[in-house]
């Protein structure tokens, strides 16, 4: 793996971002040990003090643990963080993001099916509003991802399962992170467009509107599988 020399007044912040990106890419997995300060300084071609400052910042937000005499280790993403809005932002590695997709498959496919059975007019209005925002969004702002989250939360509401709604709301910040990454990769993929992404959400909505649980289930599963596949291809590319 090659590293470019970093040129910036805020060297430690850029080193921090580089290490975060290494974790996202899976170059170092949760539970694994980072290279030493000396090695990182050599790789990034920066001072050891800049590396130490970057590591201190990462430790402060819970991304790494520094064990005296043992080294620096990458923490596993603690999904219980979403239950406490006061806890700091955390990054999610590829492995953890794929695990979240497994949870989404279990929860949201079933939620779409329930929503098709139980939805009320106000639920459809929530979905329509989210779709309208999604359609108007460009690929350069965060309106699209916010609308994406709102759409999926509206489906949970339409399921009229209070526990489902609570869990989805608690996961909303984490979902927003994965949706941001998904949309970023999606937009940079030659075969994917915002229009296709919108259409997949529209198909889910129409199935729910038509009170067709089987169709809603298939539409949601197809959407989640496509997003996951696009993410994987983007990582590999």
Across the strands, what pairs with 74?
A: 64
User: What confidence score (pLDDT) does residue 87 get?
Assistant: 45
Q: What are phi and psi of 65, to 5 degrees?
A: -125, 130
**Which residues fall within 8 angstroms of residue 132, CB to CB, at 6 or more apart?**
none
34 or 171, which is more confident?
34
- Shortest CA distance to 112 belongs to which of 144, 154, 147? 154
Stretch 108-132: mean pLDDT: 96
User: What confidence score (pLDDT) does residue 137 get?
Assistant: 76
| pLDDT over 60 at 86, yes or no | no
User: What confidence score (pLDDT) does residue 84 get?
Assistant: 43
Least confident of 29-33, 34-38, 179-183: 179-183
- pLDDT band at 132, cuts 50/70/90? very high
Return the exposure string of 111-121: e unless at least 16 CB atoms fall within 10 Å of the residue's CB, then b.
bbbbbbebbee
Q: What are phi and psi of 33, to 5 degrees?
A: -95, 135
User: What confidence score (pLDDT) does residue 173 get?
Assistant: 72
Percent above pLDDT 90 for the chain:
38
User: What confidence score (pLDDT) does residue 169 get?
Assistant: 82
| pLDDT over 50 at 139, yes or no | yes
Stretch 209-226: mean pLDDT: 95
pLDDT (tens digit per residue) in 156-185: 999 999 988 888 887 777 777 777 777 666
Residue carrying the six token digits 């979902």: 175
- pLDDT band at 236, cuts 50/70/90? low
Domains and CATH numbers, the chain: 11-76 (1.10.10.10), 85-236 (1.20.120.530)
User: What confidence score (pLDDT) does residue 175 get?
Assistant: 74
* CA-based torsion, 177, 180, 182, 185: positive or negative: negative
Specify which of 59-68, 141-150, 178-187 reaches the highest per-range mean pLDDT: 59-68
Least confident of 4-8, 89-93, 129-133: 4-8
């Amino acid at each position: 793996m090659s590293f470019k020399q970093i040129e910036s007044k805020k060297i430690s912040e850029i080193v921090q971002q580089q290490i975060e990106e290494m974790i996202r890419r899976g170059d170092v997995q949760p539970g694994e040990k980072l290279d030493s300060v000396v090695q990182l300084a050599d790789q990034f071609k920066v001072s050891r003090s800049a590396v130490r400052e970057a590591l201190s910042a990462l430790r402060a937000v819970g991304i790494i643990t520094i064990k005296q005499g043992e080294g620096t280790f990458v923490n596993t993403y603690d999904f219980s963080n979403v239950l406490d809005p006061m806890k700091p932002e955390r990054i999610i590695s590829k492995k953890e993001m794929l695990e979240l997709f497994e949870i989404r498959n279990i929860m949201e496919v079933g939620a779409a099916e329930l929503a098709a059975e139980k939805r009320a007019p106000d639920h459809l209005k929530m979905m329509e509003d989210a779709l309208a925002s999604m359609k108007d969004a460009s690929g350069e702002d965060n309106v699209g991802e916010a609308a994406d989250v709102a759409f999926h939360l509206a489906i949970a509401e339409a399921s009229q399962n209070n526990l489902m709604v609570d869990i989805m709301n608690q996961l909303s910040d984490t979902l927003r992170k994965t949706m941001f990454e998904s949309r970023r990769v999606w937009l940079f993929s030659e075969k994917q467009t915002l229009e296709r992404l919108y259409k997949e959400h529209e198909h889910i909505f129409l199935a729910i509107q038509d009170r067709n649980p089987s169709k809603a289930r298939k539409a949601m599963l197809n959407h989640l599988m496509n997003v996951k596949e696009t993410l994987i291809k983007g990582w590999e590319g």
